[in-house]
Structure 1
Amino acid sequence: MTAIARLSIRRLVCLLAGLACPALASAEDALKFTTEDYPPYNFTENGTYKGVGYEQVVMMMQGISTSYTVEMMPWARAYALAETDPMTCVFTTAHIPEREGLFKWVEPLAVDRNIVVSRADAALRVKNIEEARSYSVGTQRDDYTQALLERNGFTKIDLAANLDLTIKKLESGRIDLMPISEKFLTKLQRDGHPLKGQFVLTEQKFAVACNKHVPDSLINQMQANLNAIIADGRQREIFVRYGMEVLN
C-alpha cells in the first residue's frame, strides 16, 4: 500500500469517527505547477528549469508551508490539468476574458504584447486584423492566441501541438502568419530565426492560473508574496536578467 493510500484511509477513518484531522499532510495537499517551454518565460537549460515566470513562482512560494512541484509539458496538457486537477496551477498564462471565470488568478508575472509575425522574406505586408484574416495563421492548440484569433473572426487557423511546430510551419512556408509574444520574437530573432513583426495583436497580463478548488487562503498568500516581489524590485531584476524590456 502506498503512503498516499494509507493517508487517504486515515482521513476516511477520521471522518467516519467524527474526528478532525488537520495535521494529516500528504502528496494530495501539495500544489502542482504546470508550464511549457516558452522562453524567456519558462524553459529548460542543461536540464535546469529557468525563466521569468519560473523564477517568480519559486520566489512566490518561499515562506509558504504548502509543498509544491513544477513540471514542464506541452501547453495543452499543462492547461488542461489546471482546469481539472483541484490542486494545480498553470503558468505563464495570459489573463484574457475567455478565461476569466475558469481559474483563480495570481498576477501579474509580466505584461507583454502579442505580435503577428511572418517570415522575414515574405512579400506580404499586413497592417491590421482585417487584412490578416485573408491569410493562413498558425498557433498551438489551446493557447490563448487560439481564442484571440477565433474571437477576431479568423477562419484559416492552423493548430499545432506545440509552438516549435508552428514556427517550423511558418519558416517552411506552410502558413503565412502566426501570433507570438514580443519577448519571444526578440529572442528568436537573436537566435537567427528569419522572422519579422507585422502588427500588434494585443497587450495582456501574464499570470498564474489556479484551479478553482485551490484554497483562497493559499491564493492570497501567493498574491501577497508576488506583490512583494514586484514592490521591492525583484521582478524588475528578473526582467533585466533575461533581457526583457520593463514595461511601466
Structure 2
Amino acid sequence: MHVVIASARNALRNVTGALFVGLTLAASSATVQASERLYIFTEHYPPYNASVSGEGFAHNEDQITGICTDMVKAMLARVDYDVQMKMRAWSYAYDWVQGRENHGLFCTARTDEREQLFQWVGPLASIEWTLFAAPDSDITLSTLDDAKDLRIAGYRGDVMSQYLVDQGFNVIMNTSGDVNPRRLALGQADLWVTDGLVGPLVAEDEHGITGLKPVLVFRETPMYLAISLETSPGIVADLQKALDGARSEGELDAIVARYE
C-alpha cells in the first residue's frame, strides 16, 4: 500500500513538474510573441505617406499609401512581425514613439540633431527642402539668408521648420502643414517651407491653388524609418536586411516609378 501511495505521489510530482514547465514555456512564448509586435506610425504627407480617405489619420495599413509607405510595406512583407500601422499628426506621433519599445515612425528625416534619438532603417526616399512663394509673388532668393526678413509658414515637429527656427528665421508655426498654401494666398506669410513634391500637391488638393513658385531649394535629406532606442537592435537589423533585400531586387525603384 505504501509503495502504491509513493508511486502515485511520484507520478503526481512528475505531472505537476511537466505542467509547470509547459506553463513556463507557454508564458515565455507569449512574451516573445508580444515582443515581436511592432507599432509603426506615419503622417499624412503626400505623396510620401497619404491616407486613402484624404484625412489626416488612419487606423491600419490598408488605409495608408504613398511612396515611403509602400517601401515600408515591402520591407515588412519580408519579416515575420505582427505590425500595427497608424497615421496620426506628426508632432503627436514623433513624441509618442520615443521611449516606447517596438515603436517606429516614418518617413523621418535623418539629421545630426536627431541622430542619437532613434535607431535608423533606410534610406527610403529623399526630400528637397524648398521655399515656395505664392503664384503672384515677385520674391526671388539667391541664398537662404535672403529670406531672413520674410515670414515663413511652417509647422510644429517638422524638421525643415525647426531648422529655420534654430537659424533665427521668422517661422509661423501651425499644427499641420496643410493650411500653409492658404496662408500664402491670403498674404499671411511670404514663403512656405516644405518638400518640393509635397508643396504643389497639397496646395492643389487641399485648396485648389496651382502655380506655386519654388524660389529656393536649400537642402536635401534622406528619409528613414526611425525606431525607438528601446527596441531590440536585432529587430532593427532584421528590418534593415529586409529593406536592403527589397532594394536589391528592384522593388523600391518600381515603387518610385509608380508615382512618377
Q: TM-score range by the shorter chain?
A: 0.7 to 0.9
Q: Deviations 1:88-119 (Å, cap 9, x if unpaired)? A: 10101111111010000001111231111111
Name the counterpart of 1:80.
95
Contact persistence 1:82–1:88 (CA under 8 A)? yes
Q: Distance in 2 between matches of 1:188 and 1:147?
A: 20
Contact persistence 2:120–2:227 (CA under 8 A)? yes
Question: Which of the pair is proportionally richer in helix?
Answer: 2
- Residues 1:198 and 2:204 aligned together: no
Name the counterpart of 1:96.
111
Going from structure 1 to structure 2, the CA distance change for 1:173 and 1:66 (only over 3 Å counts) comes to same
Letter in 1 for 2:186: S
Q: Deviations 1:209-240 (Å, cap 9, x if unpaired)? A: 11101111110010011111211111111111
Contact persistence 1:179–1:201 (CA under 8 A)? no
Q: Distance in 1 between matches of 2:203 and 2:97?
A: 32
Name the counterpart of 1:185.
199
- Residues 1:220 and 2:237 aligned together: yes
Contact persistence 2:200–2:212 (CA under 8 A)? no
Name the counterpart of 2:52.
45
Query: Once the 2 structures are TM-superposed, how far is the Cα of residue 27 of structure 1 from its aligned partner?
Result: 5.4
Query: Once the 2 structures are TM-superposed, how far is the Cα of residue 52 of structure 1 from its aligned partner?
Result: 0.7
Query: What is the RMSD of the two structures over their aligned residues, measured on CA atoms?
Result: 2.3
Q: Distance in 1 between matches of 2:184 and 2:111?
A: 25
Letter in 2 for 1:39: P
Contact persistence 2:46–2:202 (CA under 8 A)? no
Which structure has the greater CA radius of gyration? 2
Letter in 2 for 1:45: V
Runs of 4+ that moved beyond 6 A: none
Q: Distance in 2 between matches of 1:190 and 1:234?
A: 29
Going from structure 1 to structure 2, the CA distance change for 1:165 and 1:188 (only over 3 Å counts) comes to closer
- Residues 1:230 and 2:244 aligned together: no
Going from structure 1 to structure 2, the CA distance change for 1:136 and 1:197 (only over 3 Å counts) comes to same
Within 5 A, what are the aligned runs for 1:104-115? Answer: 104-115=119-130
Report the TM-score when normalising by structure 2: 0.80
Q: Distance in 2 between matches of 1:107 and 1:98?
A: 17
Aligned residue-pair number: 227
The percent of aligned pairs where both chains have the same amino acid is: 25
